[in-house]
Structure 1
Amino acid sequence: MTITFQQEWETWHDAHEQRRASPHGFLAITGLHWLTETPQRFDGVPGSWSTGPSGPAVTLDDGEEIIVDGSPVSGSFAFGKIPDKGDVTVEYGNIRIEVASRGGFDVVRPRDPAGPVLKAYDGTPAYPADEKWVISGDFRAFDEPRPYPVGSVAEGIEHVYESPGVISFAVDGVTHELIAFNGNTPGSLSVLFTDETSGVTTYAANRSVQVPAPAADGTVTVDFNRATNLPCAYTEFATCPLPPQGNRLPIAVEAGEKKPG
């Protein structure tokens, strides 16, 4: 039996949806708590949390316990300095607690499989797969990777990503360029973008598409059918980056995921 392009896309998207709706994925986040030097307690999370020059720390009351690296911890625990975009996950019963650094700030985000966003989630609509949006382009590498500061959906946060170069491609005879960041696997690329569908049929702030590593001659394939939403499309407890300046396409990319229902 021949597998159609649409069926191949559906298999990929079903797997993406399963990862997104996993019990401790970002849909399970129930809060975004910004740490300060003053100890604070948060609903559903044990202990008093704070941060300082040495990084985040928690002080647990008598009878409170978390699991760190598989071992029970009581009393006080120091996480040490967490690098930007880094995180440490600890456990508290069925809840996983993400301790992370985002844009120079330390945060705590509980992930509860019984959280309301995850329980209510019923899938993300998308455009029908269309081979028109599988586009061959060219990757032009910079002499040296360049740091690109970008904004965030979280007010006051700035992210800095390293860009190895620029992707150029043509749609209906018109050439467009997108700044690329490093992707999830060695050599691959990741692109944050908006387009003329943003805020209309697709999420307003951003979408992301992963691009396989360029060929030796710089040729790349950008499959906009696999453009996906970032966590901020689903939860207010996200710190997602915004696309770099110049990554707003003056065309309607009617492919990939739409706004969540």
Structure 2
Amino acid sequence: MTVQDVDRVSFAAEWQEWHRQKEEVLSGPHGFLAITSLRWLTEEPARFEDAPGAWSATADGVVVELAEDEEVTVEGQRVRGRHDFGVLPERGSVYVGWGDAVIEVAKRGGHDIVRPRHPGNGLRTAFTGTPAYEPDPRWVVTGRFVPFDAPRPVTVGAAVEGLEHVYDSPGRVEFELDGGTHRLTAFNGRSPGALMVLFTDRTSGVTTYAANRSLHIDAPDADGRVTIDFNRAANLPCAYTDLATCPLPPTENRLPVAIEAGERIPLERGGRP
């Protein structure tokens, strides 16, 4: 595809719809902007002002002990007293209903956490949108997926100091841009065969969020070709709140070019409209 081949009106409209849907999830009643705290559970039961019950992390998984006057819903069922969530898988989450709030119970970097999500949280109610570059077909490039002989575990840092994430990488994505060849270590995407990359570039910390941006890539075709649309380079939740545990890009995913496309620094972090 060349820039000349693109219907710019349709291209912009499709991007706007993508961006609208992403913002809708982020700022939904129980989206990341609704999170009021990040609690790291230990063996000692602890109560929090923004969640019901006393929470602990045991050898058998997360446990909550509710007081006599407390009730939550788990998978649609009313729960009182003690509830055992069992051992949660890494990056797994369970969402517990409590009035108009949702209590996320999760495991991140090997640690059990609780993250209450309240619709009235000020970060959410004050949200007006994320600044972004105007969509431009120039930033849509054709690349190729180069698979590894076998998936490789890749350890990356996190937005929370001292925390690490481990992802399996099926291979790398290669592409040409500004006269050079660039390679990004890829992780598995949300759908079968799809890919996700985390990266920084020369705009990071200048016009785009310093720590990371993410990009989803559809599954390669039979010849390994992929379409990389940098217009859809997206902020992760840590760009908006310190209550996120987002992964950082692998060291090799620091691009030596300026990707002036996609989402920019959020207003919440001092970005400009």
The offset of 1:20, in angstroms, is 1.6
The offset of 1:8, in angstroms, is 2.2
The offset of 1:131, in angstroms, is 0.8
In the alignment, does 2:187 pair up with 1:184? Answer: no
The DSSP-based 3-state class of the residue aligned with 1:184 is: coil
Corresponding residue of 1:205: 211
After superposition, the CA RMSD in angstroms is 1.2
Q: How does 1:127-166 map to 2 (within 5 A)?
A: 127-166=133-172
Corresponding residue of 1:227: 233
The DSSP-based 3-state class of the residue aligned with 2:241 is: coil
C-alpha distance in 1 between matches for 2:13 and 2:57? 48
The offset of 1:5, in angstroms, is 2.0
Note if contact 2:156-2:164 (Cα within 8 Å) is conserved in structure 1: yes
Note if contact 2:36-2:50 (Cα within 8 Å) is conserved in structure 1: no
Moved over 3 A (4+): 1-4
The offset of 1:44, in angstroms, is 1.8
The offset of 1:11, in angstroms, is 2.0
Q: Find 1:9's aligned residue among 12, 15, 18.
A: 15
Aligned partner letter, 2:169: S
Corresponding residue of 1:246: 252
The DSSP-based 3-state class of the residue aligned with 2:102 is: strand
C-alpha distance in 2 between matches for 1:152 and 1:63? 38
Corresponding residue of 1:80: 86
C-alpha distance in 1 between matches for 2:251 and 2:18? 30
Corresponding residue of 1:31: 37
Kindly, what percent of the aligned residue pairs are identical? 57
The offset of 1:156, in angstroms, is 1.6
TM-score by length of 1: 0.98
Q: Which structure 2 residue ranges, 5 or more long, are not aligned?
A: 1-6, 268-273
The DSSP-based 3-state class of the residue aligned with 1:6 is: helix
Question: How many residue pairs align between the two structures?
Answer: 261
The DSSP-based 3-state class of the residue aligned with 2:113 is: strand
C-alpha distance in 2 between matches for 1:48 and 1:143? 47
The offset of 1:179, in angstroms, is 0.3
Deviations 1:29-70 (A, max 9, x none): 110000000010011211100012111101111111111111
The offset of 1:245, in angstroms, is 1.5
Aligned partner letter, 2:56: S
Answer with 149-158 or 14-23: which moved more.
Answer: 14-23
Aligned partner letter, 1:86: G
Aligned partner letter, 1:74: R
Corresponding residue of 2:74: 68
C-alpha distance in 2 between matches for 1:165 and 1:217? 15
TM-score by length of 2: 0.94
The offset of 1:209, in angstroms, is 0.5
The offset of 1:2, in angstroms, is 8.3
- Does the C-alpha gap of structure 1 residues 2 and 232 become closer, same or farther in structure 2, counting only changes over 3 Å? closer
